[in-house]
Amino acid sequence: MDSITPLNHPRKAWLALLLGLFLPGLGQIYNGQLNRAAWFMLGFWVFGIPLLGLLVRYFPDEWTASLMLGSIGLALIIWLLGCLDAFIQARYRADYHAAAWQGAGTYLFLILLVTVCLFPLLAQQIRKHWIEPFRIPSASMEPALIAGDFIYADKHYNCLGCEPSMQRGDIITFTYPNNRSMGYIKRVIGLPGDQIKIRGQTVTVNNTALTVASTRQQGAVVVQERYEQRQWPVIWKNPRAVLPVTEVTVPAGQIFVLGDNRSNSNDSRYFGTVPLADVTGRARQVWFSYNSELGGLQWDRVGLVLH
């Protein structure tokens, strides 16, 4: 009886490298090294954004930028090592006999499975429960945030068992009450049951005026506000602007929010209080900032912790 000799399919080093660039671990699959492929895939996905999302929940805000750079850098190193490993291993497989499943269809299927299904699902899970990036489009939160800031919002916030609990002075993200397809970012001024009064530049919470100091800068009024142990700056760029007089007791299950740029902000003075159920996260840190009107990249804001 005649025997059948498997066809020799030497691995091409350049193709292994290219596949590894498309998807971490795919070059090892091309080389028939499934165990090595699994380790490189796990290393890339675990030490990337998922690790960052987990770490920022347990480390101080000041560490967020360093953790982000470290986790992304580690993921890139694992990716590049995987590509290099696939390239080197392929060169030792001149006498390789490919399995029946090793073909262009398998590699294309894996690329589509990860990029179209698995990666979007992972990204959605991270954005929903861990951290979510935002770009600030307007000046309504100056001076804390400027147009062009890119921030991370902590999604482990305003939920059962979340610590710390919501506090006055927190900068939060929430669903805009008048258009639920839009996300807003403002500062929490009043919690459920608080009595809020706003007349001119004076904001009072539970009969306590928030203003502790004010100065004039180029026609604007910069005010330092404080409630209990929290303090933050706000700005009135147009001190003479006619703004609504507000006097309200925050209903149960609601919060009262204001923009820090008080004469240029659409906030609870206009659209009312925000349901706690619509609060989606707490802004923690600026990780990048680009504003063409200010000259481009704002290096001094990169890594800025938000208070």
Q: Which pair of structure tokens corresponds to residue 67?
A: 């953790």
Q: How far is CA 216 from CA 141, 221, 235, 258, 292, in A?
A: 18, 5, 10, 21, 26
DSSP 18-34: HHHHHSTTHHHHHTT-H
The radius of gyration of the chain from alpha carbons, rounded to an integer in Å, stands at 26
Separation CA 304–CA 160 (nearest Å): 28
Q: Which pair of structure tokens corresponds to residue 143?
A: 């001076």
- Count H helices and E strands in the chain, helices first: 8, 15
- CA 275-279-280 angle, to 5 degrees, is 155
* Annotated catalytic residue within 3, 66, 138, 140: 140
Q: How far is CA 101 from CA 10, 39, 104, 107, 131, in A?
A: 16, 20, 9, 10, 38
140 carries an active-site annotation = yes
Nearest of 306, 269, 5 to residue 136 by alpha carbon: 306
Rounded to whole angstroms, the maximal C-alpha distance in the chain is 101
> Which residue is listed with tokens 């269809």?
105
Nearest of 206, 211, 186 to residue 247 by alpha carbon: 206
Neighbours of 43 (CB within 10 A): 19
Size of the chain, expressed as the number of residues it contains: 307
Q: Which pair of structure tokens corresponds to residue 197?
A: 């009064």
197 carries an active-site annotation = no
* Annotated catalytic residue within 71, 155, 186, 289: 186
What is the set of active-site residues?
Answer: 140, 186
